[in-house]
Amino acid sequence: MINEPKCRARSCKHYRGIVGEEDQGQRPICAAFPDGIPDEIAYGNNLHLSPVAGDRGLMYEKGETELVRDTRLAREQRDAMNEQLQSLRSLI
């Protein structure tokens, strides 16, 4: 298992996750670097606030934290379930 990339910890909206098998070399990827985030961005001091060669025109942008995303998704599911419940109640 590899260390947590800084771009994940900073909740970059372009971050996609870790790919690859543990025994074959895992790497973090994002929309800017689909083949692997350069180490100086993933683990170093480059915050990717300005263009870097090969970044496809994408730079760091603050996204939702996991807690905020999970809370939003839970609320959306709750609201959908409440709508279904109201529909079922109208049948009684």
Instruction: Find tokens 């990717």 and name the residue.
Output: 48
Three-class SS of residue 7?
A: helix
Q: What amino acid is encoded at 38 in this protein?
A: P
Output 53-56 pairs: Cβ under 8 A, ≥24 positions apart. 56/31, 56/32
Query: Rounded to two decimals, what is the model's pTM?
Result: 0.68
Q: Residue 70 has what pLDDT?
A: 84
Nearest Cα neighbor of 42 from 19, 70, 66 is: 19
Stretch 32-49: mean pLDDT: 95
| Helical spans, DSSP H, in 1-92 | 6-9, 39-42, 66-91
Residue 7 has pLDDT above 90, yes or no: no
